[in-house]
Amino acid sequence: MRLDARPIAQSAGPAQFVQILADPVGSPYLRRPFSFLRVDRDAGWFEIYYDVIGPGTRRLQEARPGDAFNALGPLGRVFDPPEGHLLLVAGGVGIVPLAFLAWDHPERRLSTTLLMGANTATRLPDLDALLPADLVRHVSTDDGTTGHAGFVTDLIEQHATPTTAVLTCGPHAMMARVAQITAELSLSCYASLENHMACGFGACVGCVVEYRESDREDERYRRVCLDGPVVDAHGIVW
Amino acid sequence: MRLDARPIAQSAGPAQFVQILADPVGSPYLRRPFSFLRVDRDAGWFEIYYDVIGPGTRRLQEARPGDAFNALGPLGRVFDPPEGHLLLVAGGVGIVPLAFLAWDHPERRLSTTLLMGANTATRLPDLDALLPADLVRHVSTDDGTTGHAGFVTDLIEQHATPTTAVLTCGPHAMMARVAQITAELSLSCYASLENHMACGFGACVGCVVEYRESDREDERYRRVCLDGPVVDAHGIVW
Amino acid sequence: MDMTVDIGGGLRLRNPVLMASGTFGHGAEYQGLFDFAHIGGVVTKTITRHPRAGNPPPRTAETPSGMLNSIGLTNPGLEGFIAEKLPQLSDLPTARIVSIAGTSSEEFAEMAEALCEHGGFDAIELNISSPNMKDGGMLFGCREDSARDVTRAVKDVADLPVIVKLTPNVTDIVAIANAVEEGGADGVALINTLLGMAIDIESARPILGNVTGGLSGPAVKPVALALTWKVASAVGIPVVGMGGISNATDAIEFMIAGANAIQVGTATFVDPLAGPNTVDGIIDYCQRKEIVRVAQLTGSIALP
Amino acid sequence: MDMTVDIGGGLRLRNPVLMASGTFGHGAEYQGLFDFAHIGGVVTKTITRHPRAGNPPPRTAETPSGMLNSIGLTNPGLEGFIAEKLPQLSDLPTARIVSIAGTSSEEFAEMAEALCEHGGFDAIELNISSPNMKDGGMLFGCREDSARDVTRAVKDVADLPVIVKLTPNVTDIVAIANAVEEGGADGVALINTLLGMAIDIESARPILGNVTGGLSGPAVKPVALALTWKVASAVGIPVVGMGGISNATDAIEFMIAGANAIQVGTATFVDPLAGPNTVDGIIDYCQRKEIVRVAQLTGSIALP
Ligand SMILES: Cc1cc2nc3c(=O)[nH]c(=O)nc-3n(C[C@H](O)[C@H](O)[C@H](O)COP(=O)(O)OP(=O)(O)OC[C@H]3O[C@@H](n4cnc5c(N)ncnc54)[C@H](O)[C@@H]3O)c2cc1C
Ligand SMILES: Cc1cc2nc3c(=O)[nH]c(=O)nc-3n(C[C@H](O)[C@H](O)[C@H](O)COP(=O)(O)OP(=O)(O)OC[C@H]3O[C@@H](n4cnc5c(N)ncnc54)[C@H](O)[C@@H]3O)c2cc1C
Ligand SMILES: Cc1cc2nc3c(=O)[nH]c(=O)nc-3n(C[C@H](O)[C@H](O)[C@H](O)COP(=O)(O)O)c2cc1C
Ligand SMILES: Cc1cc2nc3c(=O)[nH]c(=O)nc-3n(C[C@H](O)[C@H](O)[C@H](O)COP(=O)(O)O)c2cc1C
Ligand code: FES
Ligand code: FES
């Protein structure tokens, strides 16, 4: 889905997201957060990509060309990928922010590898449509219908170098496993979290994640929408 | 707006209405009642005509050809017009059920006269589109921009015969005035009420109107959706 | 699959879905729309000792995801009900619960006794919680002592199960639930409507003729669910949950929270088949989850 | 047109629109989005004596036309607030109200005294009504005696206006409002959230990490309006109304019902400009209705 919104497109950076009001009349009531898939800063548009799962995404799906939506963004911190080899580990629509990183840093694509997991082949999104053509990718399915048979996390070790940094986005259980494996391999690891959000602004303190260490009691839980969405995967309690 | 709904169209009669769910996801929450404007029992469709005033009618307006709505009907009692001359007195969208009566009883059109009032010419609906061509009509506007200058109720006396029956539908104040004038002229008068409805079924007892006389306390207020929508205008408390 | 549930005093329902008081007329309005044998039972509009006209219109107002009503217990009174409505009700092929409200414990007991003598129904629901009755209706439900007393007075004379319906408009609904359990209630039902209001800013007038009314519908579901969980965790008698239930998902939430059965109210206005569709959805869920007795859902909440 | 309103203790607001506690951070989050001089004032997230981490996530859940939250008063504590947040707050070009909650009257008073000594803000809001504080936060607001005592304890030491924020989760909110007025409150604010809950039927787990939470948003507006009307009709001090206000129409309803000012809460999450847009809408309405002082709206309800 492509939306024309020059101010948002012009300032959007990797890992940031946009809060979209799916229905101006209030059903569903809250905005829905979506990662950027691609932006064209000159043309002034951005694209999102989503799974239809509930009332909000259903309203978006019903949209027809020319419809207007109220969108707020870009929100969250821009993720600046560290130097060196980057391993992107995606599950489901978690591929979206990772794809945007690849789109937005063409110079990094040669030193980037994407691993994508799904239950079964038919649940895989159309990677050719979502990813730059020159991004190396490896696929796994739990049932072996395509690619590696097993979890996508099985592929991490073989595709990592000692200085690889891992960035993951996907289901909670997958990201937790990525964090664990990268810890065992002593790799740095970042996770792009998709906690449930009310405001997306830092105002409600609802979207928090628990940090392993914090100086003060009130900093034990921190806001994903402001501190993240990308966090150090080894710094939080999974 | 035309809706295909064979079971509803086939059984719809004058003064009946349909309860339409403007939004399946619940905003607005309740159904909205609309009178039939025309039905084609063979083709299996009915038409409604509405003013856009709030969230429900706005959703209907946004509909595009092919969209589906959940509609419940026909509800209410069929109005069987008495013999003799019939005077229809309409204000605003109150014209809809009166137009349907004229559409549905072609044999009565020659003995029927429609009076239509509005604030000003631009507020008048397109009568040629709404009414059968052979229905005699007279228009009034409060500001005299077209037709009689003044209230539509001023026209009643000159268009009534001693045996005329009056049927009115429109704003509360207009109908109350029609009731008063017809009482003075000793004419029978029926009003098609548009009370706020929750269920439209007789279940909530919300849409009531107060009757002047009732045998029992619990019958003082009666349900417009079941007892009406057409009631004896001289039998209720305006 | 076993869909039956007990809601107290030996009353066993075919399935856990009842139609809530005041939202289903006396049943007749919905006849022909579906087979009543498909639902667990119906609760009548509340009956009072004498006929009541109810409150002046407007009586309903829409609110975000809900509605306000100030019907005011329009009803034909005890004699009128027995003569005109009860025969029809008795014929329904499902559990029939008669809701009553009185202005004193004595009046409650008098009505319960007369109804039980007449028979032709399965249980009594005591409405001690209507916000639309000026002469004390809700006060019974706001205080432990009066709630206990009115329950006991009815139990002393009634030979049918007695379910007491509670108001959410109190500081401590658990205390009231405990009190009616002490008073001998066979079960509790909750929630009745929340007190609410709406104003038309053009005229500065309240939208309801009665100024305030009762809020119901999906808007109140989170409140109803919290109170159902609290009460179910505290009492030893069956709990009938309601408030904003529109479909099987909602109904199952209440059962997981501790309800033995549920009632569908306002949702019927939006979809007359909300009741039977809820039954079907619960069956689907149980099949998918391989639950053999729907009663296993009750109180199955997994707390953190 | 005169948009100023008094909300007690001599505090005069530029206009009747405040941003509600807990929905506006400490103001900084919204800086840059609009000019704070455009709104009547801001109320901080509630501060406690000691830093609090808050409740385990998930902390929010969407509900029909509303949301549940179980944030649990995450805050840096009194010292942390004074050192880190108060300086920024003090710079805001609008009325600044600090919300506090304690576990005893003494703690409330201690905090109020320390804050007043420090200065840099305009009034104190006593949160005796949070459903998300296990150690007694809400209990103060549920009983007349404790509500009166805590108010008096704070008034004895505070030299700034004290507004007491009430919970709707009580049988008789008017009695509580009268009690805090007796305790010396300069004004009352209402409502805080309604107790609510949501369950995920697939896992049978509560959606909120803390099981229950507070319901807010348009869903609660009818309840909030009814209680605002009841309280405003009963007390002699200014009333700040809130609960589900999303726009000027909602705000005007509360003022007609008797509120001197209003707060915009959850609506800010959906539309960060809900506050300033509400101000503009009230101005438009007053112009259209030829109302020269917005304060004339307060209590202008036309009862039948
Ligand atoms: C930073 C961020 C980026 C995201 N990017 C994408 C993306 O690029 N593509 C995509 O398909 N999805 C993305 N999501 C998830 C997406 O926001 C949810 O799928 C969407 O909100 C579901 O809304 P719904 O009304 O269709 O479904 P619902 O039935 O409302 O919800 C279904 C699921 O989505 C979650 N959800 C609902 N509302 C929110 C909310 N306000 N915030 C977070 N989670 C919510 C619920 O917890 C539930 O598990 C992102 C989430 C976050 C926080
Ligand atoms: C029997 C009957 C027949 C009607 N026929 C027509 C018709 O043919 N054409 C037409 O334009 N309008 C008709 N109406 C009125 C129509 O139902 C309302 O205009 C419509 O419901 C407004 O909905 P909304 O969401 O757009 O506006 P809202 O902002 O919700 O309401 C605007 C106005 O409509 C009234 N209204 C809202 N909901 C209802 C409801 N559930 N029942 C009754 N009134 C309501 C409100 O009191 C308010 O005055 C009829 C009403 C009834 C009862
Ligand atoms: C129009 C209407 C009338 C009602 N009348 C009664 C009544 O007579 N007796 C009663 O106990 N409850 C009455 N109720 C309350 C419902 O039975 C139910 O407790 C409440 O509406 C919450 O459930 P819901 O949200 O599913 O409607 C009424 C509710 C509505 C909406
Ligand atoms: C996320 C969230 C956090 C809140 N935190 C506080 C708080 O810290 N102190 C307080 O007094 N009220 C708090 N509230 C309650 C609001 O200030 C307000 O009383 C309530 O939400 C009703 O208004 P609304 O419907 O406009 O949000 C909070 C509400 C929400 C939604
Ligand atoms: S979503 Fe509100 S603080 Fe992050
Ligand atoms: S609309 Fe419910 S009884 Fe008429």
Among positive and negative, which fits the CA dihedral C215, C220, C223, C225?
positive
The string of pLDDT tens digits covering residues B109-147 is 989 999 999 999 999 999 999 999 999 999 999 999 999
B33 vs D69: CA distance, rounded Å: 36
Of A21, A196, A205, the CB nearest to D270: A21
pLDDT of residue D134: 52
| Residue to substitute in A29, A197, A204 for testing ligand 4 pocket (most ligand atoms within 8 angstroms of CB) | A204
The pLDDT score that the predictor gives to residue C147 is 94
Predicted confidence band of residue D63 (pLDDT cuts 50, 70, 90): very high
Which helix (H) or strand (E) segment holds residue D88: the answer is: helix D86-90
User: Does the beta carbon of D215 sit less than 6 angstroms from any atom of ligand 4?
Assistant: no
Task: Return the axis-axis angle of helices C105-118 and C144-157, rounded to nearest 10°.
Answer: 30
Dump pLDDT digits (tens) for D183-196: 999 999 999 999 99
Residues C44-65 pLDDT 10s: 999 999 999 999 999 999 999 9
C201 in contact with D at a CB cutoff of 8 Å?
A: yes
**Distance from C-alpha of A60 to C-alpha of A55, rounded to nearest angstrom:** 9
Give the per-residue pLDDT at D135: 52
Chains touching C, CB cut-off 8 Å, 3+ pairs: B, D
pLDDT, residue B15, reads 94
Determine which residue's CA is closest to atom 23 belonging to ligand 1. A56
| Number of cross-chain residue pairs from A and D with Cβ atoms under 8 Å apart | 107
Q: Using a CB-CB distance cutoff of 8 angstroms, which residues of chain A are in contact with residue D65?
A: 26-27, 29
> Which chains lie within 8 Å of chain A at 3 or more CB pairs, if any?
B, D
Q: How far is the CA of C216 from the centre of ligand 3 (A)?
A: 7
Strand order in the sheet with A70-75: A32-35, A17-21, A70-75
Amino acid at B37: L
Q: Where are the domains of chain D?
A: 5-297
* % of chain A with per-residue pLDDT over 70: 100
Residue in A23, A197, A221, A236 to test binding to D, most D beta-carbons within 10 Å: A221
Say if A11 is an interface residue toward chain D (CB within 8 Å): no
Q: Does the C-beta of B35 come closer than 6 Å to ligand 2?
A: yes
Would you state the pLDDT for residue C132? 58
Identify the pLDDT of residue D132. Answer: 58
A69 touches chain D (CB under 8 A): no
Residue spans per domain, chain A: 2-75, 86-232
**Average of per-residue pLDDT values in chain D:** 94
pLDDT in the model for residue C26? 78
Confidence (pLDDT) at B205? 95
For B111, C57, C194, D228, the CA distances from C209, given in Å and listed in that order, are 40, 5, 17, 18
Inter-CA distances, D47 with C115, D78, D194, Å:
57, 6, 20
Which amino acid appears at position C196 of this protein? G
Nearest to C200 by CA among D274, D221, D262, D257: D257
**Nearest CA-CA distance, residue C61 and chain D, Å:** 10
Tell me what ipTM this predicted complex has. 0.95
pLDDT digits (tens, 9 = 90+) for D196-223: 999 999 999 999 999 999 999 999 999 9
- Taking the CA of B125 as reference, the closest ligand is 2
pLDDT of res. C131? 64
B218 contacts in C (CB within 8 Å)?
51-54, 74-77, 80
Helix axes D173-182, D221-234, angle to 10 degrees: 50
pLDDT for A24 equals 85
* Three-class DSSP category at B158: helix
State whether D218 and A207 contact (CB < 8 Å). no
- Does the beta carbon of A55 sit less than 6 angstroms from any atom of ligand 5? no
pLDDT at A178: 96
Q: What is the pTM of this model?
A: 0.96
Out of D196, D203, D222, closest to residue C302 by CB? D203
pLDDT digits (tens, 9 = 90+) for C62-106: 999 999 999 999 999 999 999 999 999 999 999 999 999 999 999
The whole-angstrom distance between D278's CA and the closest CA on chain C is 14
The CA distance from A166 to the nearest CA of chain D, in Å, is: 25
Any CB–CB contact under 8 A between D171 and chain C?
yes
User: Cβ of C233 under 8 Å from any chain D Cβ?
Assistant: no
Contact between chains at D301 and C196 (C-beta distance less than 8 A): no
Q: What is the pLDDT of residue D172?
A: 94
Say how far apart CA D161 and CA D18 lie, in whole Å: 15
How would you write the pLDDT of chain C (304 residues) with one tens digit per residue?
Answer: 899 999 999 999 999 999 999 999 877 778 788 899 999 999 999 999 999 999 999 999 999 999 999 999 999 999 999 999 999 999 999 999 999 999 999 999 999 999 999 999 999 999 998 765 555 556 788 899 999 999 999 999 999 999 999 999 999 999 999 999 999 999 999 999 999 999 999 999 999 999 999 999 999 999 999 999 999 999 999 999 999 999 999 999 999 999 999 999 999 999 999 999 999 999 999 999 999 999 999 999 999 9
Neighbours of C39 (CB within 10 A): 26
Peptide bond into C131 cis (omega under 30): no
Domain C5-297 has CATH 3.30.310.10: no
pLDDT along chain A (238 residues), means of 10: 89 94 90 96 94 94 91 93 92 95 90 93 91 93 92 92 94 95 95 95 94 89 94 95
Strand partners of residue C34 = C31
Closest-CA distance of chain A to residue B64, Å: 11
Q: Which of B21, B23, B25 best probes binding to A when mutated, by most A CB atoms within 10 angstroms? A: B25
Q: Is the CB of A55 inside 8 Å of chain B's CB atoms?
A: yes
Alpha helices in chain C (DSSP H): 77-80, 86-90, 105-118, 139-142, 144-157, 173-182, 221-234, 248-257, 267-270, 274-289
Residue D25: predicted pLDDT: 83
Pairing of strands C199-200, C95-100: unpaired
- Residue C190 Cα to ligand 3 midpoint, Å, equals 10
The two beta strands, D162-165 and D123-127, are parallel
Find the CB nearest D226 among C172, C195, C219.
Answer: C195
Q: Is the peptide bond before D71 cis (omega within 30 degrees of 0)?
A: no
The residues, any chain, with a CB within 8 Å of residue C198's CB and separated by 6 or more, are: C61, C63, C68, C206, C207, C208, D222, D225, D253
pLDDT-based confidence at residue D139 (cuts at 50, 70, 90): confident
Partner A contacted by D212 (CB < 8 A):
no
Per DSSP (E only), the strands in chain D are 5-6, 12-13, 17-19, 41-43, 60-63, 66-69, 95-100, 123-127, 162-165, 187-190, 194-197, 199-200, 205-206, 212-216, 239-242, 261-264
Q: Which chain D residues touch C128 with a CB distance below 8 Å?
A: none
Q: What does the H/E/C string look like for C108-167?
A: HHHHHHHHHHHCCCCEEEEECCCCCCCCCCCHHHHCHHHHHHHHHHHHHHCCCCEEEECC
Look at residue C135 in the predicted model and tell me its pLDDT: 52
Sorted by sequence, the CB contacts under 8 Å of residue B97 that are 6+ apart come out as B14, B15, B17, B35, B36, B79, B169, B192, B229
In CATH terms, the fold of domain B86-232 is Rossmann fold (3.40.50)
Q: Which residue among A31, A200, A217 sits closest to D52, beta carbon to beta carbon?
A: A217
Beta strands in D168-234, from DSSP E residues, in sequence order: 187-190, 194-197, 199-200, 205-206, 212-216
* Mean of all residue pLDDT scores within chain A: 93
A92-109 residue pLDDT tens: 999 999 999 999 998 888
How far apart (Å, rounded) are the C-alpha atoms in residues D216 and D69?
A: 8
pLDDT at res. C137: 53
- A96 CB within 6 A, ligand 1: yes
Q: To the nearest whole angstrom, how far is the Cα of D227 from the nearest Cα of chain C? A: 8
* Block residue for tokens 């799974």: A51
Angle at which helix D173-182 crosses helix D144-157, to 10 degrees, equals: 30
Best mutation target, C49, C60, C215, C264, to test chain B (most B CBs within 10 A): C60
Q: Point out the residue among A27, A58, A64 whose CB comes nearest to the CB of B27.
A: A27
Quick: pLDDT tens for D251-274: 999 999 999 999 999 999 999 999
Ligand 1 pocket member A94 (CB < 6 A): no
- Does domain A2-75 match CATH 2.40.30.10? yes
Q: Tell whether B127 lies on the interface with C, counting CB pairs under 8 A.
A: no
Residues 24-43 of B with CB under 8 A from A: 25-28
The pLDDT value recorded for residue A188 is: 95
| Contact: A205, D268; criterion CB under 8 Å | no
Quote the ligand 6 centre to B20 CA distance (angstroms): 14
Measured between beta carbons, the chain D residues lying within 8 angstroms of A217 are 50-53, 77
Asked if B205 is an interface residue toward chain C (Cβ–Cβ < 8 A), one would say yes
